[in-house]
Amino acid sequence: MATHTITTPRLTIGGRAVAGAATLPVIDPSTGEPFIEVPAASAEQLDEAVRAANAAFPGWRATSLERRQDAVRAIADVIRANIDELAYLVTIEQGKPLASARGEIGACLRQVDFFGSITLEPRIIKDDETGRVEVRREPVGVVGGITVWNYPILAAMFKLVPALVAGNVIIIKPSPYTPVATLRLGELLQQVLPPGVVQVVAGTDELGPALTGHPGVHKISFTGSVPTGKLVMASSAGTLKRVTLELGGNDAGIVLDDVDPAAVGKDLFWAGFSNSGQVCAALKRLYVPASKFDEICEAIAAEAATVVVGPGLADGVNAGPVQNKPQLDRVRELTEGAIAAGGEAFFSGKVPEGPGYWFPTTLIRGVAEGTPLVDEEPFGPVMPILSYTDLDDAVARANDTDYGLGASVWSSDLDRAAAVAERLDAGSVWVNQHPVVTATVPFGGVKQSGIGVEGSLDGLLAYTNIKVLSIKR
């Protein structure tokens, strides 16, 4: 089992690492016990961070795009130099296997590769003898980035990198369940950034509204649940902040009747169970043609049997615990409810004995819409598999939800799959894969799964205001 010495990280306010007004215990989900107390910021400390951010903004926005991109490459260097420590912290606080934590940090570096070389030219609408009109992109100012516990470092870097490249400064508030690695990252970044450009303030959920309602913050980029997203939008309205909301999903996948079950079983399984199912755009409901239902269930179960659930630091483990107790209780309740409603847990894996937030890898069949496991987002290692006989009906059932994050179609006929994909209401629809989220492609939800996107030039533009320069000649 890997070990690493943990130094308690501090808040970063105005370029300094400081103690909090209070402390926040953080639990290792593989033991269910606190392993560290991190500093928690008071409202006054948040005010201080907002003042420091506003003081840093004019200098940062005046820095050229190339120099800002040099700075984000320096961030990547810092992350590379500290990857062992950061991955270790992610594993202890989040629960995922160490190799997955390293993978999460690798994805952060790809953010830098992409945004570190992007160009941001003005759009010229007119340039003739009568005048010139150009559309420029200006940074919004101070960004509040609120993140969640499933990919703590990646969620922070998804916001931080494009925000900085676009000329903004940012205050990150990590989830109270997983603040440790993000706080440590904040400390490390002070080596390469001017004071106040990136600050990390941890605290309880109450720090969230303090940030979203703060008059000195100009944009909120939020990742989390739909109910909290609505609160964020309401609170941001008071000062008309710009908002990007990356919220929950209940992604459907539709398998077409031409698939080879043995060929898709593995990918279908991991589409739902990567990161122990704690992925916003994981496959959460799978629609399978009745003609191939048993074979596909068997193929998915065969892959499920390869899963080794255990502490993320242990060798040979490829799935960790559920990250926190309320989430574990929710997954348990939805699963038990589905079984009580007549569902069959046709696969249920092994979990370690003893304490820790363990939940067995579970595949359910024999349930339909109207069961909360199907209608709601479990966000854990359980997936219902539903049968259909009519493809139009499957499409209608897949779309019959307020969520609209991702969806997928599985088929050996790519044209046929693409035609079905066009009919699915989601921000991303994948064919023969699910989910794929990268720095270079926009990712976001429709309906109640969110507003706006992260990733790609579109994601960067969300950290800008349009400014028109119109010259009469």
Stretch that binds ligand NAD, among 25-33, 96-104, 123-131, 205-213 (CB under 6 A): 205-213
Residue 398: CB partners within 8 Å, gap ≥ 6?
252, 254, 285, 287, 407, 424
Separation CA 169–CA 217 (nearest Å): 10
Residue 398 structure tokens: 């897949």
Among residues 294 and 375, whose Cβ is nearest to ligand NAD?
375
Where would I find the beta strands (DSSP E) of 239-350?
242-246, 251-255, 283-289, 344-348
Please report, for residues 202, 355, 449, the alpha-carbon distance to residue 175 in angstroms, rounded to integers and kept in the order given: 8, 23, 19
Residue nearest ligand NAD, CB atom distance: 208
Q: Does 255 bind ligand NAD (CB under 6 A)?
A: no
Stretch that binds ligand NAD, among 65-73, 74-82, 225-233, 269-277 (CB under 6 A): 225-233
DSSP letter, residue 319: B
Separation CA 179–CA 149 (nearest Å): 8
Tell me the β-bridge partners of 255: 410
* Options 246, 303, 377, 454, the catalytic residue: 246
Helices 293-304/261-273 angle, 10° precision? 60
Q: Binding marks (x or -) toward ligand NAD, 259..288, rule CB under 6 A? A: ---------------------x--------
Q: Are strands 169-173 and 382-388 parallel, antiparallel or unpaired?
A: unpaired
Q: Of 116, 141, 162, 249, which one interacts with ligand NAD (CB under 6 A)?
A: 249
Among residues 137 and 434, whose Cβ is nearest to ligand NAD?
434
* Minimum CB distance to ligand NAD, residue 23 (Å): 16
Q: Does 224 bind ligand NAD (CB under 6 A)?
A: yes
- Nearest alpha-carbon partner for 430 in 281, 264, 259, 269: 281
Residue 421 structure tokens: 């994909």
Q: Does 160 bind ligand NAD (CB under 6 A)?
A: no
> Between residue 387 and residue 446, which ones bind ligand NAD under the rule CB under 6 A?
405, 445
CB 287 within 8 A of CB 391: no
* Minimum CB distance to ligand NAD, residue 245 (Å): 8
246 is catalytic: yes
108 is catalytic: no
Q: Does 40 bind ligand NAD (CB under 6 A)?
A: no
| Active-site annotation, residues | 246, 280
Q: Which chain residues interact with ligand NAD by CB under 6 A?
A: 146-150, 173, 175-176, 205, 208-209, 212, 223-225, 228, 231-232, 246-249, 280, 377, 379, 405, 445, 450
